[in-house]
């Protein structure tokens, strides 16, 4: 074959091989993404909590939730756990099994995850707060301590700012509160487009949408910090690769400037990552005791 004619043929074959291998890798990546939520579905399932799972339909929400009644049947308060993104009520299984408290325990699937609805929710903190308050109105009887992990933390904080008559304090674990710390990767924007978002399974799609909109939500919430009227404790690992520990210093500075240092406490765990609720449950319990002390009448 004439070398002049062979060059285009080689290039065409090379392009076909490149497109073929690229297509296979793309299909593999999409398949892996859709398999990923299935691997964690049991971990998120509220059946892991070992209590009856219930459904509450109210105010436009359908919420799957679970409750563990205090052994004394005379709970002094209610503990309500708010999972991150993605996730489900089942991530709090360790707390339901080991936490020593006289509180009733509640955990739920946030709208957009698990069996709660609406399924494809608008990714805004305020909508999640509205869902949380609908649950509290329909399921809880006592004043509430909120426990939020990761994206559940700003939900808990915003609810605390807006509803101090119902919520007596909040524990934020690995929580993102500083808008400046939210820096999505380019690939998140790629999967955030309408034409490509379908490549992600529902839980990851909703998670990605929340991560792309949370910066604006946090900036709006910052303006409400002067409303804080009940204590907040932040529990964070200084080796958290997902939510920088600088979030703690930011909230401390913000509340200090507002003269609200008496309503803030922090626990920084050296060498600890983002997954504190299931890797360091004793630290969660310690932080809850501190929050309980801050919210007691003598304080």
Query: Do both 5 and 150 map to the same domain?
Result: no
Query: Do both 30 and 177 map to the same domain?
Result: no
Query: Do both 146 and 233 map to the same domain?
Result: yes
pLDDT, greater one: 23 or 240: 240
Query: Do both 185 and 283 map to the same domain?
Result: yes
Query: Do both 122 and 189 map to the same domain?
Result: yes
pLDDT score at 297: 64
- Cα–Cα distance, 121 to 206 (Å, whole number): 8
Residue 151 CB neighbours (<10 A): 25
Q: What is the reported pTM?
A: 0.84
The predicted model gives 45-55 an average pLDDT of: 93
Query: Do both 12 and 70 map to the same domain?
Result: no
Query: Do both 140 and 261 map to the same domain?
Result: yes
The predicted model gives 109-125 an average pLDDT of: 84
pLDDT tens for each residue of 138-150: 998 888 999 999 9
Number of domains the chain contains:
2
Cβ pair 44, 113 in contact under 8 A: yes
85: CATH: 3.40.50.1820
- Which domain, by its residues, includes 20? 1-41
Looking at the chain, the whole-number percentage of residues with pLDDT higher than 90 is 60
DSSP per-residue string spanning 145-185? EEEEETTHHHHHHHHHHH-TTTEEEEEEES----GGG----
Query: Do both 7 and 33 map to the same domain?
Result: yes
pLDDT, greater one: 38 or 154: 154
Query: Do both 26 and 105 map to the same domain?
Result: no
Is the pLDDT confidence value at 31 over 70?
no
Query: Do both 3 and 79 map to the same domain?
Result: no
Query: Do both 141 and 178 map to the same domain?
Result: yes
Query: Do both 110 and 34 map to the same domain?
Result: no
pLDDT score at 71: 72
Confidence of residue 187 (pLDDT cuts 50, 70, 90): low
Phi and psi dihedrals of 278, rounded to 5? -105, -15
């Amino acid at each position: 074959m004439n070398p002049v004619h062979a060059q285009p043929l080689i290039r065409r074959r090379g392009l076909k091989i490149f497109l073929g291998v690229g297509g296979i890798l793309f299909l593999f990546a999409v398949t892996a993404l859709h398999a990923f939520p299935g691997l964690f579905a049991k971990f998120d399932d509220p059946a892991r909590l070992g209590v009856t799972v219930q459904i509450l339909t109210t105010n436009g929400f359908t919420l799957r939730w679970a409750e563990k009644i205090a052994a004394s049947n005379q709970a002094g308060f209610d503990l309500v756990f708010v999972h991150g993104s993605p996730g489900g009520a089942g991530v709090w299984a360790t707390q339901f099994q080991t936490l020593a408290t006289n509180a009733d325990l509640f955990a739920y699937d946030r709208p957009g995850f698990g069996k709660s609805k609406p399924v494809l929710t608008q990714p805004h903190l305020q909508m999640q707060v509205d869902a949380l308050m609908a649950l509290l109105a329909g399921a809880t009887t006592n004043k509430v301590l909120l426990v939020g992990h990761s994206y559940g933390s700003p939900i808990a904080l915003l609810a605390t700012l807006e509803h101090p008559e119902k919520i007596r304090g909040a524990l934020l674990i690995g929580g993102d509160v500083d808008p400046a710390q939210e820096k999505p990767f380019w690939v998140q924007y790629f999967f955030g487009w309408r034409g490509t978002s379908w490549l992600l399974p529902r839980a990851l799609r909703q998670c990605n949408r929340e991560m792309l909109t949370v910066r604006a939500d946090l900036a709006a919430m910052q303006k409400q910090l002067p409303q804080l009227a009940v204590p907040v404790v932040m529990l964070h690992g200084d080796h958290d690769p997902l939510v920088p520990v600088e979030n703690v210093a930011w909230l401390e500075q913000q509340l200090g400037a507002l003269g609200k240092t008496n309503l803030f406490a922090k626990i920084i765990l050296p060498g600890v990552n983002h997954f504190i609720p299931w890797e360091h449950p004793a630290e969660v319990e310690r932080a809850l005791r501190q929050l309980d002390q801050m919210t007691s009448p003598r304080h």
